[in-house]
């Protein structure tokens, strides 16, 4: 199989030193203690912590393509201690104390990724510079003010965690156009996502795990995984497929795959960076509803992405969507509008990948000891740090290790199934349209969009 088939999937995969040759596939029927389906962060962090807790376990990771083929090899590299279903939702299901503990566990996961990658010599360009979220209209600024007040008041965060910035302070982080203020969130690092996931693959092999690549699971059942290369019997089967979950017949409506698309510029010269900023490699965004996200890469490029690609009927995952030029063009236009000085820089890479989205935007980590079924995912585009916490939690649950993680609000959380088609297609693509319209109306009027507020309520 050609290396290009993988390199073309993202700037990060293309940027990997050395060949991306697949490891050998499963050699036929086999028996292990733990079978993990999916070779991304979730599967590999789970394998890593399982083997740290019990080095005698026979752990097999089953990956359809190569480690890092999925979102873990294509994302924006924001390692950020937060989740889309924020602390208010966690408080609703588990109370204030649990919501606060969850926040601090998420914050700590950013540092844990830094600690482990250093200990395992995974050179993933980890730089903990925080996140700058710009406010570029009055509605964005008002939302940020409300968020900081609320999170400090209700969940005990301080200025060291999250604080408001005036226009000058915000521009001091990132000298973008139209900035009237901003929010700085300290618990975030920029990293090279594929270096992280590929390095993790090597680390779990060093600990004794086996990784079978080019091996597709076709069914996950209690005590076994059926693959195109044989059947694996296992005491515990971990489902770690995130955006690919819907490809299993038994999980067609569990998580919806939603595309996020990205571009990378050529490396910018030092004088451009002197003007733009991001000296600490802060990750950056503004506060529009249709999420955008960027980072200054270690080699001086801008990697920048956004949502907005239409959802494919029947949860279709289609490489044609990853290359959809209209959305990439919009992303480039947004970047240039944000940072006009990059307009003459070449865009060297365009790509995309799928996020896993649960019906209520609330990720889940779980283990049913009776059936041996375990799962984690549904991070809605914020899985880089969260998957570390999920992997640690799954390892604790599976080995019966008591820890401050095993009763966090997402443990055992069950989201409703997504609606059947065509309702799913209509509601998701409708919501995407509403977000775009709300952003346009907010930048024109400066007023918080009622349409968007209604949509968020509807989405839950």
Ligand X SMILES: Cc1cc2nc3c(=O)[nH]c(=O)nc-3n(C[C@H](O)[C@H](O)[C@H](O)COP(=O)(O)OP(=O)(O)OC[C@H]3O[C@@H](n4cnc5c(N)ncnc54)[C@H](O)[C@@H]3O)c2cc1C
Can you give the binding site for ligand X, defined by CB under 6 A? 37-43, 62-65, 69-72, 74-78, 80, 216-217, 240-244, 247, 260, 262, 293, 305, 352-355, 377, 379, 381-384, 387
User: Shortest approach of ligand X to residue 433 CB, angstroms?
Assistant: 20
- Decide: helix, strand or coil at residue 265: strand
The smaller minimum CB distance to ligand X, of residues 275 and 299, is found at 299
CB of 217 to ligand X, least distance (A): 4
Q: What crossing angle do the helices spanning 41-53 and 193-206 adopt, rounded to 10°?
A: 30
| Closer residue to ligand X in complex, CB, 232/268 | 232
Please tell me the distance from the alpha carbon of residue 89 to that of residue 34, in angstroms, as a whole number.
Answer: 32
**Which two tokens mark 243?**
């955006």
Match 């952003």 to its residue by tokens.
439
Nearer to ligand X, 70 or 182 (CB): 70
In whole angstroms, give the CA distance from residue 206 to residue 189: 26
Token pair for 394: 């799954």
- Would the CA dihedral through 20, 26, 27, 30 be positive or negative? positive
Nearer to ligand X, 129 or 352 (CB): 352
Euclidean distance between CA atoms 388 and 105, whole angstroms: 10
Judged by CB, which is closer to ligand X: 65, or 396?
65
CB of 73 to ligand X, least distance (A): 7
Residues 405 and 108 sit within 8 Å (Cβ to Cβ): no
Rounded distance between C-alpha atoms, residue 226 and residue 381, angstroms: 28
Cβ proximity to ligand X, 358 vs 383, nearer residue: 383
**Closest CB to ligand X among residues 74, 424:** 74
Helix (H, G, I), strand (E, B) or coil at 299: coil
Bridge partners (DSSP) listed for residue 306: 261, 292
Q: Which residues pair with 164 in a beta bridge?
A: 183
Least separation in angstroms between residue 334's CB and ligand X is 15
Distance in Å, CB of 319 to ligand X, minimum: 13
> 192 by DSSP, 3-state: which?
coil
Q: Among residues 139 and 384, whose Cβ is nearest to ligand X?
A: 384
Taking the complex as a whole, how short is the minimal distance between the CB of residue 261 and ligand X, in angstroms? 6
End-to-end C-alpha distance for the chain, whole angstroms:
42
Q: Are 46 and 390 in contact (CB under 8 A)?
A: yes
Q: How far is the CB of 307 from ligand X (least distance, A)?
A: 9
Residue nearest to ligand X (CB): 383
Is the peptide bond between 422 and the residue preceding it cis, with omega within 30 degrees of 0?
Answer: yes
Distance CA 139, CA 137 (A): 6
- Minimum distance of ligand X from residue 211's CB (angstroms): 11
The 10 Å Cβ neighbour count of residue 389 is 27
Choice between 30 and 137, CB closer to ligand X: 30
Q: How far is the CB of 380 from ligand X (least distance, A)?
A: 8
């Amino acid at each position: 199989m050609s290396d290009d088939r993988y390199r073309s999937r993202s700037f990060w995969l293309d940027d990997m030193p050395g060949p991306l040759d697949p490891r050998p596939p499963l050699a036929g029927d086999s028996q292990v203690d733990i079978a993990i389906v999916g070779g991304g962060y979730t599967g590999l962090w789970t394998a890593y912590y399982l083997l740290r807790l019990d080095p005698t376990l026979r752990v097999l990771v089953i990956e359809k393509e190569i480690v890092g083929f999925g979102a873990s090899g294509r994302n924006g590299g924001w390692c950020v201690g937060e989740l889309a279903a924020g602390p208010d939702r966690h408080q609703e299901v588990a109370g204030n104390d649990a919501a606060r503990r969850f926040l601090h566990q998420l914050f700590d996961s950013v540092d844990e990724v830094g600690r482990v990658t250093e200990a395992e010599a995974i050179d993933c360009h980890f730089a903990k510079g925080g996140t700058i979220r710009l406010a570029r209209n009055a509605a964005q600024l008002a939302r940020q003010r409300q968020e900081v007040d609320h999170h400090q008041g209700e969940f005990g965060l301080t200025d060291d965690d999250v604080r408001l910035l005036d226009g000058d302070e915000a521009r001091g982080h990132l000298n973008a156009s139209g900035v009237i203020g901003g929010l700085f969130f300290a618990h975030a690092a920029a990293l090279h996502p594929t270096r992280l996931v590929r390095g993790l693959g090597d680390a779990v092999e060093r600990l004794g795990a086996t990784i079978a690549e080019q091996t597709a699971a076709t069914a996950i059942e209690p005590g076994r995984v059926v693959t195109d290369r044989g059947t694996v019997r296992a005491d515990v089967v971990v489902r770690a497929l995130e955006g690919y979950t819907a490809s299993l017949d038994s999980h067609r409506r569990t998580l919806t795959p939603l595309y996020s698309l990205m571009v990378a510029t050529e490396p910018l010269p030092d004088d451009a960076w002197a003007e733009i900023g991001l000296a600490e490699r802060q990750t950056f965004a503004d506060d529009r509803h249709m999420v955008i996200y960027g980072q200054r890469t270690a080699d001086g490029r801008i990697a920048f992405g956004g949502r907005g690609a239409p959802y494919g009927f029947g949860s279709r995952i289609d490489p044609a969507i990853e290359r959809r030029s209209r959305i990439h063009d919009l992303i480039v236009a947004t970047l240039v509008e944000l940072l006009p000085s990059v307009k003459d820089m070449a865009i060297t890479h365009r790509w995309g990948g799928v996020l896993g989205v649960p019906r209520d935007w609330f990720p889940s980590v779980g283990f049913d000891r009776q059936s041996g079924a375990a799962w984690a995912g549904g991070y809605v585009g914020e899985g880089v740090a969260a998957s570390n916490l999920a992997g640690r939690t799954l390892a604790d649950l599976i080995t019966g290790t008591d820890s401050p993680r095993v009763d966090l609000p997402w443990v055992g959380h069950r989201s409703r199934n997504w609606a059947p088609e065509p309702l799913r297609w209509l509601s998701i693509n409708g919501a995407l349209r509403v977000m775009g319209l709300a952003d346009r109306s907010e930048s024109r009027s400066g007023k918080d969009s009622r349409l968007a507020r209604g949509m968020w309520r509807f989405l839950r």
